[in-house]
Amino acid sequence: MDRDTFSHATKFFRDYSGLPRGASGQLHEHVDYIEKPENFTYADFFKDYLIPNDPCVFSAKFTEGWGSRRNWVTPDGKPNFEYLLRTFGEAVVPVANCDVKEYNSNPKEHLKLKEYISYWKEHIKKNYRSPRGCLYLKDWHLHRVFPEQDVYTTPIYFSSDWLNEYWDAIAVDDYRFVYMGPKGSWTPFHADVFRSYSWSANICGKKKWLVFPPGQEEFLRDRNGHLPFDITAPDLKKSHLYPRYAQSSPPVEIIQEAGEVVFIPSGWHHQVYNLEDTISINHNWVNGCNVAIMWSFLQDELAAVQREIREWKDSMEDWHLQCQVLMKSYTGIDYKEFYNLLKIIAENRIYVLENHHPEEGASRHCYRAAISGLGMLHAVFDLKRTAKVLTSLNANEEFKKLNPEKLVPPPQALLHRLKAAIDTALL
């Protein structure tokens, strides 16, 4: 991060509320297309898309060196089933049925990849019809299971990735996924986990994205306040069911070709279709630009849980702890784990600022090297954003009920340490 970008970001976030941004719910007539890697810097992406929270599309030139684009695709641009079978055939993968709706999502089963590819081949032969329905391989943690495979390299624009930095550090989970599906497979209307960013690269095939800036989803709620499963369903036009639909604006439409990468900002709801047999790679990620959005989302999620079980508040022992348990089961994280995420992020950056190089041989050395590569000012920016959110978390009444003084280190001590690191770095 150069000094101009640091100054711009610091000024922008000084009075930032933490609510999702991006056209303030207004229309985008088009999405910017980034053609040449040599003409587009990390600072360009940071200032023009991360900070304003706007989407963009990267051309296939940004992924042309990836192993998956060489090996997973046939010369005519189709999925290379034989290579995938040889390399990953015995792997167990999650598969969703796009033709079935259960509890506002598609039910999933687990199959070996060789079974799924056998289904896919048969589905193609039968003109994309099957008594089993339209099955879509989704959310496969391939990177976690096959880290040694030459599949892809995360573009530098997406390298400040706090979610995967944290989950890799505790060796529990990650937010890196592979998707594979036939023509006609699709993902229902949603916003991404924790209101994170996402980037999605097509290895082969074509997708259609229907994307709404933050705020537009409010016009799409039904009379009970629920968001639709499918934004193209005819019922949305029935005013007695969706009373505010007439006030909504059409979505931004993105057609994503093979090799291209779509950047979806925080809080942008979207629905996605595979127009051809398609394979894609996706990351969800959070950084200093949207961590406050994540914190705002978590507060909303806890409030929703509390409303759901408020009738047991007086009779249930440790009601506030049960709310945290339920919140984690719904969203994947609770307040204490969010604190631990902020702690890992802070500690890695403090180390880099104090030592000016990554620690060789350490379990976190790859992230510390990445932090160092983005520059010392980026580490300072990250610490400033961490301090802002940590200060808010530490003052939160629900967090105070969790005995945060027993955490290691206590939040106040961590705040003192990271503020000292910022002050020293800026001397």
pLDDT, tens only, 112-137: 999 999 999 999 999 999 999 999 99
Query: In Å, how far from its chain's centre is CA 33?
Result: 20
User: What is the pTM (predicted TM-score) of this model?
Assistant: 0.94
The predicted structure's pLDDT at residue 164: 96
Q: Are residues 259 and 319 in the same domain?
A: no
The predicted structure's pLDDT at residue 180: 99
Q: Are residues 278 and 365 in the same domain?
A: no
- Whether 357 shows a pLDDT value over 60: the answer reads no
Residue 393 lies in a domain: yes
Q: Are residues 241 and 323 in the same domain?
A: no
C-beta separation of 379 from 349 below 8 A: yes
Closest CA to 189 of 140, 243, 236, 232: 232
| Cα separation values, 372 from 133, 198, 291, 357, 366, Å | 48, 23, 20, 6, 10
**DSSP secondary structure letter of residue 228:** P
In angstroms and rounded to an integer, the radius of gyration of the C-alpha atoms of the chain is 22
Q: Are residues 255 and 402 in the same domain?
A: no
Residue 18 lies in a domain: no
Structural domains counted in the chain: 2
- Whether 359 shows a pLDDT value over 60: the answer reads no
The predicted structure's pLDDT at residue 14: 84
Q: Are residues 214 and 299 in the same domain?
A: no
Residue 162 lies in a domain: yes
- Whether 224 shows a pLDDT value over 70: the answer reads yes
In this prediction, residues 271-276 reach a mean pLDDT of 99
Q: Are residues 316 and 412 in the same domain?
A: yes
Residue 246 lies in a domain: yes
Q: Are residues 166 and 315 in the same domain?
A: no
What pLDDT band is residue 24 in, cutting at 50, 70 and 90? very low
Q: Are strands 32-34 and 56-58 parallel, antiparallel or unpaired?
A: parallel
Q: Are residues 316 and 196 in the same domain?
A: no
Residue 276 lies in a domain: yes
Where among 230, 261, 285 does a domain terminate?
285
In this prediction, residues 324-351 reach a mean pLDDT of 97
Domain enclosing residue 310, as ranges = 291-425
Q: Give the chain's mean pLDDT.
A: 94
| Cα separation values, 21 from 28, 280, 293, 320, Å | 13, 27, 9, 31
What pLDDT band is residue 418 in, cutting at 50, 70 and 90? very high
Q: Are residues 155 and 207 in the same domain?
A: yes
Residue 367 sits at φ, ψ, to 5 deg, of -75, -40
Residue 125's Cβ-side half-sphere holds a number of Cα atoms within 13 Å equal to 6
Residue 190 lies in a domain: yes
In this prediction, residues 83-99 reach a mean pLDDT of 98
Q: Are residues 248 and 303 in the same domain?
A: no
CATH number, residue 33: 2.60.120.650
Residue 3 lies in a domain: no
Q: Are residues 307 and 401 in the same domain?
A: yes
pLDDT per residue over 134-153, tens digit each?
999 999 999 999 999 999 99
Other CB atoms within a 10 A radius of the CB of residue 11 amount to 9
Other CB atoms within a 10 A radius of the CB of residue 326 amount to 18
Where among 285, 313, 344 does a domain terminate?
285
In this prediction, residues 256-285 reach a mean pLDDT of 99
Instruction: Considering only residues 312 and 59, tell me which one the structure prediction assigns the higher pLDDT.
Output: 59
The predicted structure's pLDDT at residue 119: 98
Residue 15 lies in a domain: no
Where among 247, 263, 285 does a domain terminate?
285
- Whether 26 shows a pLDDT value over 60: the answer reads no
Closest CA to 167 of 327, 410, 367: 367
Q: Are residues 233 and 201 in the same domain?
A: yes
